Amino acid sequence: MQFENALVARVCHDLITPFNAINLGVEAFEATKDELMFETIKESTAKANAILKFMRELFSSKADDFCYTKTSLQTCASEFLAGYKITFNLQTEMNEIPAMFGKVVLYLAAICKDLMPFGGDAYITLQDSAITCECHGRNMKTPDINLETELTHKTVIQHSLLRQLSRLNCKLLASQEENKILIKITAA
């Protein structure tokens, strides 16, 4: 039950800002009929929609034989991260990505959002069962991805990634330089 509570809190936390912006924008637009305010409302609505679509995909259950397309993963993660000023690029030769690895890609995209609060660039490379995530930005947060961290709405994505990696019998190694974070996932 603690995991489910943390998950719901995380989704709500990510949706509060765009929905507050929509509410405030609608109130201001009603008073002023300002076209710039209307554009702000549309942007906030698009951001909230991208977050909802991303979270639905991230936490949906997929059959073991389900495959994501490279394009669907790229689009889902790109639209989600764009609202946080992060560009996303999925590099792989595979056109169809098994659900178990597609979920890892989506978890990594969500973690990129947390690691780069001021925006940046995220590159995920998927080759066979090895996945590399490279983040470039300024004032990035140090990655602390381990199961010893308390489960909260801020850590539920990391816990979910590690649980998925355990099912895949994979290990994770993270390192950081000044403006770069590298996360490598390989078979254990």
Domains of the chain: 2-187 (3.30.565.10)
Strand locations in 34-119, DSSP E? 67-69, 86-92, 96-98
- pLDDT band at 12, cuts 50/70/90? low
Q: What is the reported pLDDT for 45? A: 80
SS3 content of the chain, % helix, strand, coil (to 5): 50, 25, 25
Model pLDDT for residues 111-148, shown as the tens digit of each residue: 999 999 999 999 999 997 799 999 999 999 988 888 78
Q: What is the reported pLDDT for 87? A: 98
Helix, strand, or coil (residue 8): helix
Q: What is the reported pLDDT for 13? A: 61
* pTM reported for the whole predicted model: 0.83
- Give the pLDDT mean for 35-40: 75
